[in-house]
Amino acid sequence: MENQVDELVRFFKALAEPNRLRIIGLLAQKPQSVEQLASILRVGESTVSHHLSKLGEAGLVSARAEGYYSIYALHTGALAGMAKKILHEETLPGLVLGMDVDSYDRKVLATFSDANGRIKAFPVQEKKFLVILRHILEEFESGMKYSEKRVNQILARYSADTATLRRSMVEHGFMEREGGGGNYWRVEKKTQPHIEGEPDPAR
Partner DNA sequence: AAATTAATTCTATATTTATAATATTACTTT
Partner DNA sequence: AAAGTAATATTATAAATATAGAATTAATTT
Residue ranges binding DNA (CB under 7 A): 13, 16-19, 33-35, 38, 43-54, 63, 65, 67-71, 124-125, 128
b/e map 71-90, b = 16+ CB within 10 Å: bbebbeebbeebeeeeeeee
Q: How far is the CB of 176 from DNA (least distance, A)?
A: 26
Q: How far is the CB of 119 from DNA (least distance, A)?
A: 15
Cβ-based nearer residue to its own copies, 5 or 187: 5
132 binds, among DNA, its own copies, none (CB under 5 to 8 A by kind): none
Cβ-based nearer residue to its own copies, 134 or 177: 134
b/e map 159-182, b = 16+ CB within 10 Å: beebeebbebbeeeebbebeeeee
Q: How far is the CB of 186 from its own copies (least distance, A)?
A: 20
Torsion angles phi and psi, residue 123, rounded to 5: -60, 140
Biggest CA-to-CA distance, the chain: 90
15 binds, among DNA, its own copies, none (CB under 5 to 8 A by kind): its own copies
Give the ranges where 4-102 is alpha helix by DSSP (H). Answer: 4-15, 18-29, 34-41, 45-57, 76-87, 91-94
Q: How far is the CB of 21 from DNA (least distance, A)?
A: 11
Q: Which of 199, 200, 137, 202 is nearest to 168 (CA)?
A: 137
95 binds, among DNA, its own copies, none (CB under 5 to 8 A by kind): its own copies
61-66 and 69-74 as β-strands: parallel, antiparallel, unpaired? antiparallel
Where does this chain bind its own copies (CB under 8 A)? 5-6, 8-9, 12-13, 15-18, 21-22, 24-31, 33, 35-36, 39-42, 64, 66, 69, 71, 73-77, 79-80, 82-84, 86-87, 92-96, 99-101, 103-104, 107, 127, 194, 196, 199-200, 202-203
